[in-house]
Amino acid sequence: MWRVWREVAAVYTLSTFLPCPSAYSSGECYFNTKANCEYRGEVFEMRDSWMTKDCYQCICMEPFDVGCCEQ
């Protein structure tokens, strides 16, 4: 039950703090529960976001996970 609640909270958080138009169209989002908030040597804080080289917009949702949406 905790995992379901956590994923619902993560989706809500992602949609609130990271405008991701592709989440409402044909793009896809994913959540990595084992990822840390570091990308290319830069450490990000809670609610910070970054763009990956594969055009995914990601947001740090520590202590839960990292959420990314295809742009």
pLDDT attached to residue 5: 46
Domains of the chain, start order: 2-70 (2.10.70.10)
pLDDT attached to residue 4: 40
pLDDT attached to residue 7: 54
Q: Reduced to 3 states, what is the DSSP secondary structure of residue 36?
A: coil
Q: pLDDT tens for the chain, 71 residues: list them.
A: 455 445 545 554 555 555 444 444 457 999 999 989 999 999 999 999 999 999 999 999 988 899 999 98
Residue 41 has which token pair?
A: 């040597």
Indicate the pTM of the whole model: 0.60
Please, are residues 51 and 44 in contact by the beta-carbon 8 Å criterion? no
Tell me the sheet residues that pair with 49.
Answer: 59
